[in-house]
Structure 1
Amino acid sequence: MTSSPQKQGSEALRSLVNALDELHRAAGRPSARTVSALITEDDSQPTTVSHEGVRTTLKGLRVPRWETVRSIASVLALQCSPPRDPSTEVARLLSLWRTIREGESGALKSGRELTLSEGWGGENGEWTPEQVAGIMINPHSAIRIDPSLTLPHEPLLTEEEWVQVNVRMIETNGAEFFLRALLRTLKGDYVGAESGAPYGYRDPDYEAVEAYEAFQYGCEQILRRLRAEPNLLQRSIAAMRTDETMDREDRAEMLRHESDPALMREVMTVTPETWHEVSEEAHHMVFGYLIKEGRTVGRPGLPPGQRFLLTWRIPEPIEG
């Protein structure tokens, strides 16, 4: 059961006031007269705002004009320490202000705004209306997509639920938003894509393949560096010994491996030329010595250099 338009409006106004209060607090709570003066001094602002207008807006005594909210947010953002990006703060408040005027649909970007923006939002850990819409629009949520296009997964919705949800979305937000969001999803920019796995599930077999591909990429980069830096292994081992951030279990496992004389003989004598002659255990040891962390940062299908990020114990030398 949805709430009445009046209740939705009051809740949206309260959300806007809370967001402005957070911004005002982060700026050191300058007085209404100070904020008004800052707006007047800034020729880029769409309007001037009296100190009384600033006060009533921050207190939520009435629904302000958008130009008023935009001007106040812009100058407050620059007063924060460190300064915030005014355009980011203004965009955040715009959806709240539109919700007051338009109801729930006002919180959602238009199809054109979605096209011009990057990603789905939510970088601050809070779900955005676009993220929720993106999940509902994604057919992956409702059907088992053909194996040639994706990996097996359990749908979140039935097909009928998916159809009904998106019929309502089109009725509420228009066909343009739905179609643009669907196209973005099908092109690979879906909610959750940044995690590196297809949205909606984690597949053990997929994760094993991903880990193997990351390891292989790391080994290729290790060989590249060993050819150019013959003493890299020794320097990396020394760096690892002094790394106070190293996980205790990882260090304990490394010490267990180091107690094997035969394995350590392979590790300490390996060269790019003999790399394929030593054991896989030796490869893993060298990997652990040289690479502090390897993680997935890109979606499947990207080149390894864009998909995996390696953090070296000894940073790569700067060319030139």
Structure 2
Amino acid sequence: MTTHTAPSPNEAHRELVRALEELHRAAGHPGMRKVSTLIADGDHPALVSHEGVRTTLKGLAVPRWETVQSIVAVLAAACVNPPRDPAAEVARFLPLWRAVREGEPGGMKSARELALSHGWTPDDGQWTAEAVIGVMINPFNAIEIDPSLAVPHEPMVSEDEWVQVGVHLIEEHGAEFALRALLRTLKGDYLGAEQGSPFGYHYPDQEAVDVHTAFRYGCDRILRRLAVEPNLLQRSISAMHADESMDREDRIEILRAESDASLMREIMTATPETWDRLSEEAHHQIFGYLIKEIGPVGRFGLPPEQRFRITWRIPEPPTK
């Protein structure tokens, strides 16, 4: 298998590996040799050795698309509860892989792909680059359209900001892509559209988007602190256990996780260097140890450091 070893993992590669880990878990964690055998027995574009499966799932190298395609198709076919469509999963992974190989532009559909696709987000509701464009290209989000055409609302961005986003979009992805995105929006296929709703809507599932964004931002801040503060994790664990104001359900959830000895051993190895090899459960447990509270304080669209405020269990040391 021909691979391009990544000298240092970038965010796009981490996104790809996280998605592969989630799919592998949903498929029941089949062994590497089992996945390799299923690929060989099926009609797939590449033969992948068990070592190739391992390096791909662990994020040790960036493989060819045919390798990712074959692994994803086999894992999707193994998902039972609920089942997953292999073709749909392969389509979901293509922009993730392209973003690794081509940078940010690789994660975007081409103008033709946008024209042929339906809807702005996949069935799982995850945000895509096209979904963000769908929000920003919609003039509804920049101006208060006359009430005869849309329900009254407060614009999310200024008109000048909306124009600048459009100019940047055209510069980065071409006028055809921008115009097709705008046409789709004006025809009523806009992000957040509901059957029978007027041209105007509340922001779709904003709470879920905020939770996801806040978690990612919190993890980034955690990594920065772990890199420079010795024993921060251990001190935060002690502070969590001593926190009498902690929500009862949150405490029960963390204590339940602490009964898993293997998970706790994994957690105690957490460093910026090992972070990407830790499980999702470990990430959430560490988040609960270090961060007492995180929530939005700024409007949607601001950078995470301006939108969210973190209350740490162990306050950050003063900057020199």
Question: Could you state the TM-score of these two structures normalised by the residue count of structure 2?
Answer: 0.57
In the other structure, the counterpart of 2:57 is 58
> Does 2:182 match 1:182?
yes
* Residue 201 (structure 1) shift: 4.8
Residues matched between the structures, number = 196
Structure ranking higher in helix proportion: 1
In the other structure, the counterpart of 1:74 is 73
* Pairs within 5 Å for 1:49-198: 49-82=48-81, 83-194=83-194, 196-198=197-199
CA contact (8 A) 1:8 1:103 kept: no
CA contact (8 A) 1:143 1:158 kept: yes
The one-letter code matched in structure 2 to 1:154 is E
CA distance in 2, matches of 1:197, 1:132: 21
Pair 1:148–1:180, CA change in 2 (3 A): same
* C-alpha distance after superposition, 1:122-174 (max 9, x if no partner): 53233222221011001111123344433433222221111111111111222
CA contact (8 A) 1:35 1:72 kept: yes
In the other structure, the counterpart of 2:276 is none
CA distance in 2, matches of 1:30, 1:132: 34
CA contact (8 A) 1:192 1:198 kept: no
Question: Could you state the TM-score of these two structures normalised by the residue count of structure 1?
Answer: 0.57
* Residue 15 (structure 1) shift: 1.2
CA contact (8 A) 1:141 1:200 kept: no
* Residue 200 (structure 1) shift: 4.6
> Does 2:15 match 1:15?
yes
In the other structure, the counterpart of 1:42 is 42
CA contact (8 A) 1:27 1:80 kept: yes
CA distance in 1, matches of 2:7, 2:176: 28
CA distance in 2, matches of 1:9, 1:185: 36
* Residue 26 (structure 1) shift: 1.3
In the other structure, the counterpart of 1:199 is 200
Unaligned runs of 5+ in 2: 1-5, 204-320
The one-letter code matched in structure 2 to 1:199 is G
CA distance in 1, matches of 2:23, 2:109: 22
The one-letter code matched in structure 2 to 1:149 is L
* Pairs within 5 Å for 1:15-34: 15-34=15-34
CA contact (8 A) 2:193 2:201 kept: no
The one-letter code matched in structure 2 to 1:127 is W
* Residue 58 (structure 1) shift: 0.8
Percent sequence identity is: 63
In the other structure, the counterpart of 1:222 is none
In the other structure, the counterpart of 2:259 is none
Q: What SS is found at the alignment partner of 2:12?
A: helix
* C-alpha distance after superposition, 1:100-142 (max 9, x if no partner): 1122222221111111111111532332222210110011111
Q: Which has more radius of gyration?
A: 1
CA RMSD after TM alignment: 2.2
CA contact (8 A) 2:111 2:176 kept: yes
Pair 1:32–1:20, CA change in 2 (3 A): same
Q: What SS is found at the alignment partner of 2:61?
A: coil
CA contact (8 A) 2:107 2:129 kept: yes
CA distance in 1, matches of 2:47, 2:53: 10
* C-alpha distance after superposition, 1:197-246 (max 9, x if no partner): 433559xxxxxxxxxxxxxxxxxxxxxxxxxxxxxxxxxxxxxxxxxxxx
Q: What SS is found at the alignment partner of 1:194?
A: coil
CA contact (8 A) 1:9 1:103 kept: no
CA distance in 2, matches of 1:169, 1:109: 13
CA contact (8 A) 1:191 1:199 kept: no
Pair 1:7–1:75, CA change in 2 (3 A): same
In the other structure, the counterpart of 2:303 is none
CA distance in 2, matches of 1:65, 1:120: 27
CA distance in 1, matches of 2:71, 2:45: 10
